[in-house]
Amino acid sequence: MPFINECAVEACSYNVGSACHALAITVGDPPHARCDTYFVTSFEGGDPAATGQVGACKMADCRHNSRLECQAPGIAVGPGREAADCLTYSPR
């Protein structure tokens, strides 16, 4: 699974130091490439020893997408149209 190389959404409960620690995020709520795992609550989530990875992606029109899985070597997440977007999204 591709690694999340950086995530600038520090308000997310899975984020520590601009790094995602969710074991597997889901991207997409077509037509928008948002991080669907983005969640704000009062405690930290994820595994602090792990680097987040992309578990599934619903953006079938992205050039990195094959069979609803991300094939990019890694992705970046940050604020875009919404609070947490896949910045590596690239429509075919």
Footprint of ligand SF4 (CB under 6 A): 4, 7, 9, 12, 14-15, 20, 22, 25, 27, 33, 35, 37-38, 52, 54, 57, 59, 62, 64-65, 70, 72, 75, 77, 84, 86, 88-89
Nearer to ligand SF4, 57 or 80 (CB): 57
Nearer to ligand SF4, 12 or 81 (CB): 12
Rg value, the chain, Cα: 12
E strand residue ranges, 12-87 = 15-16, 19-20, 25-29, 32-35, 54-57, 65-66, 69-70, 74-78, 85-86
